[in-house]
Amino acid sequence: MRKLWSKICGLGFFMTVALPQLALAAGEKAAPLVLVADTRKLSGIMKYWADLYNESHFWFTALTVVLIPVIGLIFGVLADLVMSHIGIDLKSRDLAEH
């Protein structure tokens, strides 16, 4: 049983780790795709955002990752306030699979 289990684990490991590595090795011949944002038609905050993207992918990524949960939290709290006015119990429910 232990032998079979180790074989299954080994195969799973190969499929999930080794195969993508082989695929990546095969892909090295292709030229990498580089995108640059066109800022000519943009202004204000949109231009700032596109400039940030062109100048530093790192800061652009960091700001995006921070902004998404913050904005989600703000919208979520606002939506929560609206729902709390309906008058239903928003803290419990019955457990059942039926």
Partner 1 sequence: MDWLYVLMPISGVTIFWPGLVILGVGVGIIGGFFGMGGAWMVTPGLNILGFPMAFAIGTDIAHMAGKSLISTMRHGKFGNVDYKLGVIMIVGTVGGFEVGAQMIMWLERIGHVEVVVRWMYLVLLGLIAWMVFADVAKKRRKEREAAARGEEVDKLATGIEWHKTFHKIKIPPMMHFKMAQITCSAWLPIIISFLTGWLAGILGIGGGLIRMPALIYFIGCPTHVAVGTDLFEVMISGLYGTASYTYKGRTELVAAIIMLVGAAMGAQVGTVATKYIKGYGIRIAFGLAVIGCAISVLLKLMAKWWPPLATTFDNMATTLILGLVATMSLYIFVKMVQGAKQEVAAKKRGMS
Contact positions toward partner 1, by CB under 8 A?
Answer: 5, 9, 12, 16-17, 20, 23-24, 26-27, 30-33, 35, 37-39, 41-42, 46-47, 49-50, 53, 57-58, 60-61, 64-65, 67-69, 71-73, 75-76, 78-80, 82-83, 86-93, 95-98
Minimum CB distance to partner 1, residue 86 (Å):
6
Minimum CB distance to partner 1, residue 7 (Å):
14
Within the chain, where are the H helices? Answer: 2-13, 19-27, 44-55, 57-84
Pick between residue 3 and residue 97 the one whose CB is nearest to partner 1: 97
At residue 13's C-alpha, the angle toward residues 11 and 15, to 5°, is 70
What's the rounded Cα separation, in Å, for the pair 66 and 56?
16
Could you tell me the two tokens for 29?
Answer: 């011949």
